[in-house]
Structure 1
Amino acid sequence: MKSLVRTTFLRCSAVAAAVLMLVACAGRAAQDESSEPVERTGVSFFWMEREVSVLTLERMFTETGSAEVLGNTDELSVERLLESGAVRAVESGEGHEVVLDKSEWRTDEAANGLSRLDGALGGVMWANEVTWCEGAPDGETFVNAYTEEFEGVFDTTEEYTASAADYVDCGDGRP
């Protein structure tokens, strides 16, 4: 019974997170929805959030193991991570890995792929902790702290990628 309540709670939480994200999206200006935005002044909030979430997920797999991380995550989020190609089974058949090469992702805009991926990343962040940095917050708190501090700070995706990598390695995000 406890497992059923937990599973139901996680599913409802993931759905609520996705709904809140969609409501927030409606209030924002038009955004670049490609997985690899064109170089321009400014980087979309959603690209930045996705980047730090993917790097955090990769570190979660390294620190905790993909089986535990995905086991803590609701089934719908796991399914969408796999559907999108952002996560895949390792060739040896033992566990999963994060795919950092966005050109390998399957995020067809017609299927609302990036929004679904972002919701799935939110689901996995909510359900897992950042165990390697002081304080062990949940992944959602960890990602939100980054996006609140760094939204609009850098102009290029390269700067954000370097900053997010430093932050995920417990740095201050200012490489």
Structure 2
Amino acid sequence: MTGLEKIVEQILAEANTQSDMILEDAQKKADQIIEDAKVEADKIKAGSAEKVSHVKSDGMARAKSSADLKKRQTVLKAKQEIINEVIGKAYNGMIDMEVDRYFHMMERMIGNAVQPKSGQISFSAKDMERLPAGFAKRVSEIAKAHGGDLTLADKASDIDGGFILIYGGIEENCSLTAMFHAQKEEMADKLNSLLFT
């Protein structure tokens, strides 16, 4: 399992924890949206059936198929909106996480992403201001345990959360935004099966 996969597993575990709180609300919204979509599709079917009653039977089949397609598209759109909302809430939950938990998560992420060479690590301005006492030492210890050396960069990175690793002028984006973006499809698939099956 690669470092990124470990980070993704950790992020998914955090998202799972938060999704339990969000699930009930999301399920209610999903049920309402699906019910609304069914009502809308039934209206379309009823309107289509009335218009098609004067047309040959193959015309009726096309109208019914069109209404069914519209219904499926409406339901799919609603599901996608719910999944995006849950992923957004999970992301915001990680950004706004309690400081001790947040930096404990950062330690795990650093352990999974650090390389066995010398470099720097840069956090967001918000994170730089709230770094726990001794965190720079902890980062150095984590890097040494993996055969490397990391020091805190003087300049903050323009990210919401997570960090940027800098090795020889090459930056490795380990921001939460980048990680969520890289794994969005996988998270969406897992949420889809969790919420809608």
Q: Quick check: TM above 0.5?
A: no
TM-score by length of 2: 0.27
Flag the structure with more relative contact order, 1 or 2, with Cα contacts below 8 A and sequence separation at least 6: 1
| Structure label with greater radius of gyration | 2
Name the one with the larger helix percent: 2
Name the one with the larger strand percent: 2
TM-score by length of 1: 0.29
